[in-house]
Amino acid sequence: MPEPFAFEMRLRELHPRPLMTPVLVAVTAAVFLLLALAARQGLKVDSARLLGWGASYAPRTLRGEGWRALSSLLLHAGLAHVAVNLCFLLLVGRSVERLLGSFAFLGVYLLAGVGGGLLSLGWFPTAVQVGASGAVFGVYGALLGCYLRGWRTVPRQRRQ
């Protein structure tokens, strides 16, 4: 059996059902559907409604409403926005979750998402910020980091 395939099979044996990836996808999709139904504007959502649902906006997020940095990860402005984020998360999320474990994967996802959102607030302080792109890029970054560092980044119980 080729080494990469054998490694993937071993990861599947050790962590057969990654939990966080499907939960993140399901919750994000459900929030988008609820938001789109509440907006009654088709599958595109305006900034005012997004703000009401917890979008990040520098004057609010940085002045006492820090929870918006987290809640904005679940909000998306349109169908294409949410579809692209969730498709790319599904492409590698389960593999990265198997490599890191569910809780470390969730930590990477949240840290990258909140960090990316705060960086975006600093760069565009007057824009309403939504989406999980920073979190998804963080997952890809974790995969790249594992690849570049090799076996040392894979927990011992996942290597044996």
- pLDDT tens digits, 88-134: 999 999 989 988 889 999 999 999 999 999 999 889 989 999 999 99
- Whether the per-residue pLDDT at 155 is higher than 80: the answer is no
Count of C-beta atoms within a 10 Å radius of residue 29? 15
Structure tokens at 14: 């050790």
In the CATH hierarchy, which fold is given to the domain comprising 3-159? Rhomboid-like fold (1.20.1540)
- pLDDT tens digits, 57-67: 999 999 999 99
Q: How far apart are CA 160 and CA 140, in angstroms?
A: 24
H/E run at residue 98: helix 79-100
Q: Phi, psi at residue 155, to the nearest 5°?
A: -55, 145
CB within 8 Å of 115: residues ≥ 6 apart:
134, 138
Structure tokens at 150: 């090799």
* Model pTM score: 0.83
Structure tokens at 157: 């119980």
Q: How far apart are CA 59 and CA 64, in angstroms?
A: 9
Q: How far apart are CA 111 and CA 18, in angstroms?
A: 19
At 31, the pLDDT band (50, 70, 90 cuts) reads very high
At 160, the pLDDT band (50, 70, 90 cuts) reads very low
